Structure 1
Amino acid sequence: MTPIEEYIATCPKERQLKLNELYQTIKNIVPDATEKIAYGMPTFYLHGNLVHFANAKKHIGFYPTPSAITTFQAELVPYKTSKGAIQFPVTEELPIDLIEKIVAFRVQENLKK
């Protein structure tokens, strides 16, 4: 079991399906990324931290850096955001297409480093 799979297994059962969906989505886009726990959150690392995610009380937090929030600001209008975070409500489906675009953007950003 990977560190991220272990993290998901500690979360409430009703959250595990969405967390696994998010995990597999990111993993499919960046299969070569290193998986680890950083700042207490599942983290994908490729030439630096790529994205983090976490289970929260009322949402799933997705942390793709401030540049991704700025770049995808128009598409993120339905979600609560802050400088480097997006909150996906647990009562809604994850926006997989948007997550895929954000992760691909972050990969390109990190490869330019």
Structure 2
Amino acid sequence: MPTAADPAAEVTAYLASLPEPAHARVEQIRSAVHEATPGLGEKISYGVLTFTADGRTAMHTGGYAGHVSVYPVPGDPALVERCAPWVAGKGTLKFPHAGELPLDLVADCAVWFAGEARSKSARRSKG
């Protein structure tokens, strides 16, 4: 079992544990996020894949039997509007396996979340 000191092994184990098609769809999200926002880190947090920017959590994605999810919903009004068809519950974007996987939207969310995380890191280092 991977230890907390080995986030890459935890990520690998998490991805390997996902059933299809969740595994393939999480990998698609993962690729879109890294392509849109180079330099993000990865770890497992709250039992799902978590992307980090400058050591701060940027966003999460998880794979399940019937869908994949991205957490949380971004705070940008234009993105909130684009995300509306997939909002499920409080702060969750839910993409059923039977439906489209809007990777352009996921990538735009990743850019926004990474910017927010990096901005918080910059403010903290100045203060």
Structure number, greater radius of gyration: 2
Q: Residue 74 of structure 1: SS of its match in structure 2?
A: helix
For 1:73, give the aligned amino acid: V
Q: Does residue 1:46 correspond to 2:53, yes or no?
A: yes
Is the CA contact 2:21–2:97 (under 8 Å) kept in the aligned structure 1? no
How far residue 69 of structure 1 moved from its aligned partner, in angstroms, is 5.1
Aligned residue runs from structure 1 range 1-113, under 5 A? 2-47=9-54, 48-63=56-71, 65-66=72-73, 68=74, 71=77, 72-113=79-120
Deviates more, 1:1-10 or 1:90-99: 1-10
Unaligned runs of 5+ in 1: none
1:61–1:88: 8 Å Cα contact kept in structure 2? yes
Aligned-residue identity in percent: 23
**Where does the alignment leave 5 or more consecutive residues of structure 2 unmatched?**
1-7, 121-127
Q: What is the aligned length? A: 111
Q: Deviations over 1:50-90 (max 9, x none)?
A: 11111123211111x35x15632211222133332111111
TM-score by length of 2: 0.76
- TM-superposed CA distance for 1:22, in Å, is 0.8
> Greater helix percent: which structure?
2
